[in-house]
Amino acid sequence: MTTATPKLTRSTEGPGLILLLGALIGFGPLSIDMYLPAFPAIGESLHATAGEVERTLATFFAGLAVGQLLSGPVSDRFGRTKPLYVGLLLYVLGSIGCATAPSADVLAACRFVQALGGSVGMVTVRAVVRDLHSGAAAARMMSRLVLVIGLAPILAPLLGGWVLRALGWRAIFGSHAVIGLLALGAVFTILPETAPPRSGAPQGRPFQAMWSILKAPDFLGPALAAGLAQAGMFAYIGGSPVVFITLHGVKPEHFGWFFGANAAGLVAVSQLNHWLLARSSPERVLKQAVRIAALAGGVLVTVASTGFGGLWGIALSLFVFVSSLGAIAPNATALAMEQHAKQAGIVSAVLGALQFMLAAGASAAVSASHDGTARPMALGVAIAALLALGALRLAKRTPAH
């Protein structure tokens, strides 16, 4: 097995690399948020029901989960860049298929292919960060990436709405194909190979390795904390349109300001996290951030149950909760991967798939328990935050592998 540190010939700290890694890990949010405004237009064009259009989002989520589990072991075996080339090409082909889809069923299938390709970038970025850094340095780099990722929820719906009005819904997926091609060129130009192929790497037992990692306390605690925090975020995303627009009469064109303010808070805290890590440990910052998230969840449930504070009580509670993720996500990710440098690809895959499954479950639970009030969303956020706080008790550090 190749164990020597790779000889890097390109900058591992420059803004170009940070922007590229942020763009790659942001493929999922971008591919989701850009086409949400087009749901009615897609249904009308393809003569599909709302449920059939929503299925194209479900298949994308499924592709993200499956793709991460498949690409993690491949990334450890063949290096980071080669699988990424294949993944980006698959993303481009899937995007072209979406842009030309004649029916909702074909669109759903192409969305699955698109997600398979995009998931490779998400796995690769976390693995590359662990290849290059460990401990607080890895958490600081993840904080820089959150700055780029956090722009997606702000800009993607606006960009998607503009493309929809100007060129139609098919052009949204055409723009995805162009973005994929640009990313492919940037990877070839900017991204160094941080984990050369391992000729002696085991090929037959990736799922056994995943199970071993999943049982490791040094991984499971922070990984669950990150996944449960993300689950709270999905509970908010799934429930907030009804809470803000239907219950509190916020105009649809103004809803984006609330959504964008929360994303801006997340970005701001991610940069504060970078500053805090120069003065404290990732473990300590993570614990405090999860406590703040749990407190915000408790306040949110109180406001939703009593009506005290009204719209602004809900908005401020959500702002604090979502902002706390700017410190939870980078620190929990860095800690979960800290002791597993030799299997960074597989660890990244398990981490991403776990986060997605918890988040998708939370979103489904909020939808299923809809009762015409803000309570389902508030309970989803609060329960996820409290469970994340409990998960940190599993975060026992073990000697480096």
Question: Are residues 387 and 343 part of one domain?
Answer: yes
> Once rounded to an integer, what is the mean pLDDT over residues 219-242?
83
Q: What is the pLDDT of residue 384?
A: 93
Range of the domain at 67: 15-197
Residue 7 lies in a domain: no
Which of 141, 174, 197 represents a domain boundary (last residue)? 197
Does one domain contain both 106 and 161?
yes
Judge whether 311 lies within some domain: yes
Q: Which of 172, 197, 222 is the last residue in one of the domains?
A: 197
Token match 């059939």: residue? 52
The answer on 368 and 300 residing in a single domain is: yes
What CATH number does the domain containing 274 carry? 1.20.1250.20
**Co-location of 112 and 215 in the same domain:** no
In sequence order, what are the residues at sequence separation of 6 or more whose Cβ sits closer than 8 angstroms to the Cβ of residue 15? Answer: none
- Overall average pLDDT of the 361-388 stretch: 84
> Measured between alpha carbons, how far is 121 from 127 in angstroms, rounded to an integer?
10
Mean pLDDT across the chain? 81
What pLDDT is attached to residue 153? 63
Among 157-171, 245-259, 372-386, the minimum mean pLDDT is found in 245-259
177/306 same-domain check: no
Within-domain flag for 142: yes
Residue 398 binned pLDDT confidence (cut-offs 50, 70, 90)? very low
Q: Judge residue 285's burial from the number of C-beta atoms within 10 Å of its C-beta, 0-12 exposed, 13-18 middle, 19 or more buried.
A: buried
Q: By mean pLDDT, which of 156-165, 200-209, 222-231 is the weakest? A: 200-209
110 or 38: which leads in pLDDT: 110
The answer to whether position 9 is within a domain reads no
Helices of type H across 338-374: 344-368
Per DSSP, helices labelled H in 168-309 are: 169-190, 206-215, 217-241, 252-276, 282-306
Q: Kindly state whether residue 56 falls inside one of the protein's structural domains.
A: yes
Residue 342 maps to a domain: yes
144 and 268 fall within a common domain: no
Q: How confident is the model at residue 106 (pLDDT cuts 50, 70, 90)?
A: very high
Residues 138 and 213 in one domain: no
Examine the fold and report which residue of 197, 217, 237 is the final residue of a domain before the chain moves on. 197
Q: Domain for residue 143, yes or no? A: yes
Give the confidence band of 149 by pLDDT, cuts at 50, 70, 90.
Answer: low
Q: How deeply is 396 buried, as exposed, middle or buried, from its count of CB atoms within 10 A (0-12, 13-18, 19+)?
A: exposed
Residue 49 resides in a domain: yes
- Looking at residue 298, its pLDDT comes to 94
Same domain, 31 and 140: yes
Band the pLDDT of 43: cuts 50, 70, 90: confident
> Domain check: are 115 and 234 in the same one?
no
Which among 35, 327, 257 has a CA at the least distance from the CA of 156? Answer: 35
Q: For position 39, what pLDDT does the model report?
A: 77
Q: Are residues 325 and 305 in the same domain?
A: yes
How far, in Å, CA of 171 to CA of 166, rounded?
A: 9
Q: Are residues 172 and 219 part of one domain?
A: no
Confidence of residue 12 (pLDDT cuts 50, 70, 90): low
Instruction: Tell me what pLDDT residue 399 has.
Output: 42
Q: How far is CA 328 from the centre of its chain?
A: 13
The better pLDDT of the pair 219, 360 is held by 219
Q: Does the pLDDT value for residue 279 go beyond 80? A: yes
- Residue 129 shares a structural domain with residue 24: yes
Number of structural domains the chain divides into: 2
The three-state secondary structure class of 3 is coil
pLDDT at 367 over 70: no
